[in-house]
Structure 1
Amino acid sequence: MEIRKSKPQDIDRIMEIYDFARDFMANHGNPNQWGPTNWPPKELLCKDIENGNSYVCINDNDRIIATFFFIHGNDIEPTYTEIEDGSWIDDGPYGVIHRLASDGSQKGAGSFCINWAYEQCKHIRIDTHIDNTVMQNLVEKLGFIHCGTIYVKQDDYPRLAYEKTTNI
């Protein structure tokens, strides 16, 4: 597998992956994270591609099997400025992964994407819907620490916030 920046011509495949992910989440006890709003919208994904923050995971047959948003820097995620029931571990520059999804065709694609992002900056913050036990288990397996709860603008559901850093 390899990671590369998404290209405009990837958008249809990326949308297919999110369709699969919404169905997968709904069938695994998490119907509210992306389902009711048909999240993420195509316009947002096109903007992510244009801004260079959208990535795809390619399998050995040169097929896109996963996608995610990734950015790193100082205080780059406004929703992370307020955290309840805990605190962040490291106040330094960090990377953020959002909207990680795979088509389910290859085991380990999610881990591969997260590990790739971590290698880029050695400090990652990620959040997931309170009902997304699949993602919670994945990030915990990869050594992320639960730091507290955050909220996003899209809905009122709490998000569990995780962090992994070499600075502990």
Structure 2
Amino acid sequence: MENLVFRKAEINDITPIWEILQQSINRRKKDGSTQWQDGYPNLETVKNDIEKAQNYVLIQDDKIIATAALIFNYEPAYDEIEGKWLSDGDFLVVHRVGVSDEVAGKGFAKKLFMILEDFAKENDIFSIKVDTNFDNVPMLKILEKLGYTYCGEVYFRGSARKAFEKILN
């Protein structure tokens, strides 16, 4: 996990980001998960994330190996939770996390989340909120290992998602 660079995505990163997300979509399918099996996310989603300066990439040896959409203080679906968030202040939302097939299963998704926690703190944000499908076992394991607290359910496009929050020190 050496030579890692974390930075905001640029428009010329769209192809490798989309390839990573497609690989992640295929892994979810192979795992038997229903997450991301409905045409979302798609290339337009990636383009919009980059245009809004909300997409970030993790690079190793000049190659993009992971991606995530990061949004400060805004996720309408999080306004109505069946449960309760740990905090009501500023927060960082993590969406559309993807890791390339080349590094999948080697701890890079967990490393990405650790980098995101540092990124949040550097921006004076001490809460990270994230959601995932009930059957996305790899993501559920990462969130558990990193100490995220299950807060309840939120709904996206008519489907329930498990919602988590971590308060950063």
TM-score, with normalisation over the residues of structure 1? 0.89
| 2:114 matches 1:122 | no
Percent sequence identity is 36
Give the letter aligned to residue 124 of structure 1. Answer: I
| 1:96-118 deviation digits (Å, cap 9, x = unpaired) | 00000101322122112212222
Cα distance in 1 between the residues matched to 2:126 and 2:15: 31
Cα distance in 1 between the residues matched to 2:48 and 2:31: 29
Equivalenced residue count is 159
Q: 2:19 is matched with which residue?
A: 16
| 1:44-95 deviation digits (Å, cap 9, x = unpaired) | 2111111111001101x1110111100223xx111001111x2101111000
Contact map agreement 1:5 1:55 (CA 8 A) in 2: yes
Give the letter aligned to residue 70 of structure 2. Answer: F
Over aligned residue pairs, what C-alpha RMSD do you find? Answer: 1.3
Which runs of 5 or more residues in structure 1 are unaligned? none
Give the letter aligned to residue 13 of structure 2. Answer: D
TM-score, with normalisation over the residues of structure 2? 0.89
Q: 2:80 is matched with which residue?
A: 82
Cα distance in 2 between the residues matched to 1:95 and 1:136: 18
Q: 1:162 is matched with which residue?
A: 164
Q: 1:3 is matched with which residue?
A: 6
Q: 1:150 is matched with which residue?
A: 154
Which runs of 5 or more residues in structure 2 are unaligned? none
Q: Which residue, out of 25, 32, 35, partners 1:33?
A: 35
Give the letter aligned to residue 65 of structure 2. Answer: I
Cα distance in 2 between the residues matched to 1:115 and 1:122: 13
Q: 2:141 is matched with which residue?
A: 137
Q: 2:111 is matched with which residue?
A: 112
Q: 1:67 is matched with which residue?
A: 67
3-state DSSP of counterpart to 1:79 = helix
| 1:6-51 deviation digits (Å, cap 9, x = unpaired) | 1111111111101110111111121x211232x2121221111111
3-state DSSP of counterpart to 1:158 = strand
| 1:113-136 deviation digits (Å, cap 9, x = unpaired) | 212222222310000011111111
Cα distance in 2 between the residues matched to 1:105 and 1:94: 31
Contact map agreement 2:127 2:166 (CA 8 A) in 1: yes
Contact map agreement 1:130 1:157 (CA 8 A) in 2: no
